[in-house]
Amino acid sequence: MTEHTNKSDQVYDVIERMITFQELKPGQMVSEVTLMEATGFGRTPVREALQRLAWERMVEIHPRKGAFIPLISVEVQLKLLELRRVVEEFAVRTCVHRATSVQKQMMLELAREFDEVAEADDVVLYGDLLKRGHQIIVAAAQNEYLTSSMAPLQSLSRRFWFANIADRRKELRAASQRHSATLRAISEGDEDAAAAASLALNDYLTEFAYRTLRGADGRIAQKKLR
């Protein structure tokens, strides 16, 4: 990896984290200069990181204006999860047969970290674990087209989840258990268990989205009564 590429990756990680944890708010327009100051990097790596984030639909680039942070909606999340359900099940089933012994050991270690982060109540650490878990599954599936398929689905659905968690410890525990179960099943070579765990995670995320919708409807109703 070249130094130039490494800088671009570093900037991507910083901006993606800022969007996920709403340091950059939905609906906000942010300039390249502001991002250069926030990340400490120059214009070229910032611009390249923004191009990657735009491809993942985490930002919308407006020439001469900057990058717009899209709004978050339940409707979009549910559409993402419909597709993610199919793609991710395929990925984990494929991983069971193609992952190397080293990759399976890495997955087992990640599963243990997911178990620990559920008790640590650390959302930033959890966000980093999510990305590592997604990356190892894509790598182990040994199908380069999965990267372009899964990256936007996972980034956007991850952003929605972090933006809407209310009971943080409860949701961290619920989500971590499902990610851990998926990684453990792959590491143990159990295809059906890996697929079932992946689908259980998607069921949880879908149910979470509907709970968010019901909560939003309740807040709107309360405002109307006032």
- Reading the block at residue 150, the tokens are 């899964």
> Are 18 and 117 in a shared domain?
no
CB neighbourhood size of 136 (10 A): 20
Spell out the SS3 assignment of 18-63: HHHCCCCCCCCEECHHHHHHHHCCCHHHHHHHHHHHHHCCCCEEEC
For residue 199, pLDDT beyond 90: yes
Tally of structural domains, the chain? 2
Report the alpha-carbon distance of residue 104 to residue 185 in Å, rounded: 10
Phi, psi at 61, each rounded to 5°: -90, 125
- pLDDT in the model for residue 5: 57
Q: Over pLDDT 90: what percentage of the chain? A: 82
> Are 40 and 83 in a shared domain?
no
Phi, psi at 198, each rounded to 5°: -65, -45
Q: Which of 110-114, 121-125, 135-139 has the lowest mean pLDDT?
A: 121-125
> Are 64 and 78 in a shared domain?
no
Mean pLDDT (whole number) for 102-113: 97
Last residue of a domain, one of 43, 68, 93: 68
- pLDDT in the model for residue 139: 95
- pLDDT in the model for residue 4: 52
> Are 61 and 88 in a shared domain?
no
For residue 211, pLDDT beyond 70: yes
Look up the CATH number of the domain holding residue 61.
1.10.10.10
Pick 76 or 216 by higher pLDDT. Answer: 76
> Are 88 and 25 in a shared domain?
no
> Are 133 and 205 in a shared domain?
yes
> Are 52 and 105 in a shared domain?
no
Last residue of a domain, one of 68, 93, 111: 68
Mean pLDDT (whole number) for 71-90: 95
Report the alpha-carbon distance of residue 10 to residue 59 in Å, rounded: 17
Return the H-helix or E-strand segment holding 67: strand 66-68
> Are 95 and 199 in a shared domain?
yes
> Are 17 and 104 in a shared domain?
no
The residue assigned the tokens 């070229």 is 44
**pTM of the predicted model as reported, rounded to 2 decimal places:** 0.87
**Contact predicate 108/187, CB 8 Å:** yes
> Are 107 and 36 in a shared domain?
no
Chain mean pLDDT for the chain: 91
- pLDDT in the model for residue 147: 85
Domain extent, residue 82, equals 74-225
Last residue of a domain, one of 50, 68, 86: 68
For residue 2, pLDDT beyond 70: no
> Are 34 and 61 in a shared domain?
yes
- Reading the block at residue 35, the tokens are 């991002």
For residue 200, pLDDT beyond 90: yes
Look up the CATH number of the domain holding residue 183.
1.20.120.530
- pLDDT in the model for residue 220: 37
Count CA within 13 A, CB hemisphere, residue 184: 14
- pLDDT in the model for residue 221: 32
> Are 82 and 112 in a shared domain?
yes
Using pLDDT thresholds of 50, 70 and 90, give the confidence band for residue 3. low
For residue 217, pLDDT beyond 70: no
Report the alpha-carbon distance of residue 126 to residue 113 in Å, rounded: 9
